[in-house]
Amino acid sequence: MIVHTVTSGQRLLDVARLLAADLRVQVVFTHGPDVFGNGVAGLLERIGGVVVPWHLAVRHHFDLVVSAAYGGIEEVHGPLIIVPHGAGYNKRVSRRLGGGAMASRGTYGLSAQELIRDGMVIPTAVALAHDVELGRLAQSCPEATPIAHIIGDPCHDRLVTSMPERPAYRRALGVGDDRELVVVTSTWGQRSLFGQRAQLLRAMAARLPKERYRVAALLHPNVWFGHGVWQIRAWLADCVRDGLALIPPEADWRGALVAADHIVGDHGSLAVYGAVTDASIMLFGDARDDVDPESAMGLLSAAAPRLRLGRSLACQLRDAAASDHPGRSAGVVARLTSAPGMFDENMFRLMYRVLRLQPPPSVRRAEAVPPPFLTDSSVPA
């Protein structure tokens, strides 16, 4: 398992668990090269996996390699499966041509820039969440279509499985039946909610009536590890003192989405996954040019109401809940995966086919995620 970032590592743990009961298979981890690699060592230490240093991992041949990112993938030896690390493939990025010229923007993960090196397709298999992505892949990197497989989405499946545990997740976040939980999610980068309006967390914690609302923050791991855990906790210490529930990057974010009554997000994957739950969704900002319009995020960006900074936050939450309807969420979820409930079985079969092993008779099914927990409110001296 090539773990480039905490985000990709969290996705790979959903894959690694499918191999956990097979005594024939030894799973090892390596820290792949990535500018947002801070935090990976701590993640691998927490799970207790065997870690092979990158400089050694690229010298050995493996029977199977799985990655949820692209840095250094041409250096590994062994059949490689690429899986997405977010809600499908939804981000559009600029591509560079020779001489520094810029080409048209492509969808990250589906373009030749990620999948081809020196004219050769690097992966053995590319896992897709939805059959629509196969058509997008055919446009951006047709050489990779023969190795594409519709696998599904593990987070969708685990969110669905976790829905009956909603009362337990709400208790873990200190939310009683008489209060509504507002989960504020942010991806990373200058155009993210946190990048553009971090003070929104302070405003929501201070202005929403505490007898009715509990506000929780879910920040992308790149925010935590790009700035540093100490820095994020220092910046938000006064918000936490004012009642903000700050969920650390090592906690499972999916339980917080299941617990939410309202989700305020941006163009990151967590807002998309919120559509799987019963929460109303409101988006901040407009980064639609950063999103593939054919993706689940593209559909959500086109349909969800926008947060207006000049209006009452409580009124906007009530309006978003009142205007929410099952059809809007259903369309987003339908674009999120075309194999609902099937990720574990499909990924299991693909890995054993690549391994050339007879698979065990039973497949581990999607399990409810563990309850979320909060960061320590104190700032380390």
pLDDT at residue 101, as a whole number: 47
Per-residue pLDDT tens over the stretch 11-33: 999 999 999 999 999 999 999 99
Contact 257, 275 (CB under 8 A): no
pLDDT at residue 102, as a whole number: 46
User: What CA–CA distances, in Å, run from 160 to 66, 156, 254, 272, 332?
Assistant: 25, 6, 10, 14, 15
- b/e sequence 47-72, b meaning 16+ C-beta within 10 Å: eebebbebeebeeeebebbbbbbbbb
pLDDT at residue 378, as a whole number: 59
Contact 292, 313 (CB under 8 A): no
Residue 344, classed as helix, strand or coil, is: helix
Contact 254, 158 (CB under 8 A): yes
Contacts of 364 (CB under 8 A, 6+ apart): 17, 18, 20, 21, 344, 348
CA distance 240 to 234: 10
Contacts of 54 (CB under 8 A, 6+ apart): 30, 31, 32, 33, 72
Q: Could you tell me the pTM of the whole model?
A: 0.93
Could you tell me whether strands 102-107 and 148-150 are parallel, antiparallel, or unpaired per DSSP bridges? Answer: unpaired
Question: What residue ranges of the chain have pLDDT lower than 70?
Answer: 93-106, 287-288, 326-327, 377-381
Per-residue pLDDT tens over the stretch 212-271: 999 999 999 999 999 999 999 999 999 999 999 999 999 999 999 999 999 999 999 999
Which residue, chain included where needed, has tokens 């509504």? 180
Task: Give the distance, in angstroms, between the CA of residue 249 and the centroid of all CA atoms in the same chain.
Answer: 12
